[in-house]
A and B are shown apart, each in its own frame.
Chain A
Amino acid sequence: MASISANGTGQDPVSLFEGHRRQMIRDRMVVNITLLALFLAFLAWSVWISRFTPERLAAGLPRIFEYFGSVMPSLQWDVLFESRNEAGRFPPGSVGFWYNDFWKYLTLIWETILMALTATLIATGLAVILSFLAARNTTPAPWVGVAARRFLEFCRGVPEILFALILVFAVGIGPLAGVIAIVIHATGALGKLFSEVVENASMRPVDGIKAVGGDWFEQMRYGILPQVLPNYTSYALWRFEINVRASAVVGFVGAGGIGAELSHVISFFSDDRVTAVLLLIVLTVTAIDLLSERLRHALIGKEALK
């Protein structure tokens, strides 16, 4: 028992530890400095290629504030809730004046929500089928699985608005192009999520249904679907929230909803109409988020109790 050190070389454990520590810090420093250098180089390259210089930003900022100043409504307290006067007009400074086109906007917002709802329903249906084809554990044949996965990747890789642009050319201006565009993109996104859920599901019930003589559809319907349904519902609700945002935008290329009006208002007027539409959109989106979040939590909560 000459030494308490167990490292065999008889070195002082403290100095050994310190040596290790120094080595580790040095290694880490090298990696971190390299990363930092890469980061800075990337930053410099980004600034150069997008010509995002401080001068440009400095020149732009006042214009931004100027613009937002011009689109703010000029509300006056004394006439705020005034109704139409004898000439049938709202007095300037009232909410009625600000939202002169309220019913038009509301109709368009309604159309936007319907587009999102229809698209979500169809996309969910398609994604359910595709997820069973794409999941590695349930795919009827390996090549079908590969094909389905590639297809889903393509669908979710291309943004809705691009599909909408192309579809407007094919089917004409109007909400149909928007709905189809959202369906395609949402099918891709949901299909991927769904197939991940399927891959985590138990295969025992599937074996059970197979042993009963059930075909592939019955194996999915009875063996997998009951297991994954709560997750599917929750994802579909979440996707609905995203689709509402998307359907508010596809109108930019003429694919229906409030987007066309929004882009028109922003492009041609810089007055309080811009904030009127924007505020309405924000309120709608926030309300739907809250509602769907409640529903999702209720669903998950019910699951947790079981």
Chain B
Amino acid sequence: MNTLAFAAITEADISAVRKRHPKAFGNPLVTALKLGSWAFIIVYLAWSLHLFEVGKLFNASDRAWQLISRMLVWRDMETWQYANIYRGIAQTIAMAFLGTLLGTIFALMLAFFAARNTMPGGVIRHAVRRLLDVFRGIDSVVWGLVFVRAVGLGPLAGVLAIWVSDMGNLAKLYSEAIENIDRKQVEGVRATGADTSRIIRYGYLPQILPVFISLSLYSFESSTRSATILGLVGAGGIGMIIIERFRAGLFDQVAFVVLNVLVVIAVIDWGSGLIRKRFIGERGH
């Protein structure tokens, strides 16, 4: 066989190749399907953005610039009441910690009711799982608002909100960890003639404890993030300061607070990473 230049390929050559390898020229149905789905996505995006009045974006440039410039130029920094800000951040961390701790304790109990291998009875397991779905399905900010209505403004509502949503999340993750347990190790302990309490102590706990600790630490990290915004609905913490100063038009202070929060969250992530490593080694979760 000899060489062939790309430029020298004629229509006749193409149809000759097509005759021998018809499939290599693509399936028109597949091509149409691909094109169709891309077209669908584009049409959908255009339609939905139109529905959401994307045009407002182009009228907003004045206000947006005003906002950005007022966020970037920091004025009267000596009047910013730093003690308030840092107390708010501390309160946020405390809320996240207490909420996660309580959530962990309750999730520990619920998880065993939600796991297939520790709760073979279907009715209770399903009931517990649906309950967990409710806890998880509602965002912590919503819980915050609900608890503000129930117990009033302040960090108590925040702790309760994190407690409930962490309990839902953690119980689900814990129960999955329990279900994924290595049965051989449990049987190994049982084979030594151990009773139930010893089977749990030596068969289950060593396997699930590191996973539980790591999950709770992750949960603490994400709770710190959600705790920062709980204040937007009045449930304590730095969010209350953010929204107060935002409503008062003190955008430079808002920017400062948000920057501080970002740094604190980064530090917490880093610290919790260290602890995680100590408890479960490098392999992580």
Contacts and interface: CB of A to CB of B under 8 A. Distances in A.
Q: Do chains A and B touch in the complex (CB under 8 A)?
A: yes
Interface of A: 42-43, 45-47, 49-52, 56-57, 60, 63-64, 66-68, 114-115, 117-118, 121-122, 154, 157-159, 161-162, 165-166, 169-172, 174-176, 179-180, 245-246, 248-249, 252-253, 256, 262-263, 266-267, 270, 274, 278, 281-282, 285-286
A45 to B, nearest CB: 7
B48 interface: yes
**Max chain B Cβ within 10 angstroms of own Cβ: one of A170, A175, A180:** A170
Interface in B135-151: 137-139, 141-142, 145-147, 149-151
B33 interface: no
Contacts, number: 153
Nearest to B262: A157
Contact of B52 (A60, A161, A179): A179
A52 B233 contact: no
A50 B262 contact: no
Given A46-B97, A267-B149, A162 B159 contact: no
B248 interface: no
Interface in B45-96: 45, 48-49, 51-54, 56-57, 60, 63-64, 67, 87, 90-91, 93-95
B233 A252 contact: yes
Contact of B56 (A49, A174, A263): A174
A165 B159 contact: no
Interface in B17-43: 41
Given A63-B151, A286-B137, A49 B90 contact: yes
A167 to B, nearest CB: 9
A245 B139 contact: yes
Contacts of A270: 149
Nearest to A154: B262
**Max chain A Cβ within 10 angstroms of own Cβ: one of B67, B225, B233:** B233
Contact of A165 (B49, B93, B225, B243): B243
Contact of B97 (A43, A67, A274): A43
**Max chain A Cβ within 10 angstroms of own Cβ: one of B134, B137, B156:** B137
Contacts of B146: 67, 266, 274
B189 interface: no
B228 A169 contact: no
**Max chain B Cβ within 10 angstroms of own Cβ: one of A42, A159, A278:** A159
B145 A170 contact: no
Contacts of A46: 93-95, 97-98
Contacts of A118: 44-45, 48-49, 52
Chain A interface helix/strand/loop/mixed = helix
Contact of B228 (A159, A165, A256): A159
B48 A174 contact: no
B258 A282 contact: no
A170 B101 contact: no
Contacts of A43: 97-98, 101
B242 A162 contact: yes
B236 interface: yes
Nearest to B242: A162
Given A57-B156, A154-B262, A171-B60, A262 B142 contact: yes
Contacts of B134: 282
Nearest to B236: A50
A282 B57 contact: no
Contacts of B258: 158, 162
Interface in B108-158: 133-134, 137-139, 141-142, 145-147, 149-151, 154-156, 158
Interface in B233-258: 233, 236, 242-243, 246, 258
Contacts of A159: 225-226, 228-229
Given A165-B243, A282-B137, A60 B160 contact: yes
Nearest to A253: B232
A67 B95 CA distance: 22
Contacts of B242: 162
Contacts of B233: 252, 263
A68 B143 CA distance: 12
A188 to B, nearest CB: 12
A186 to B, nearest CB: 14
Given A169-B63, A172-B56, A161 B232 contact: yes
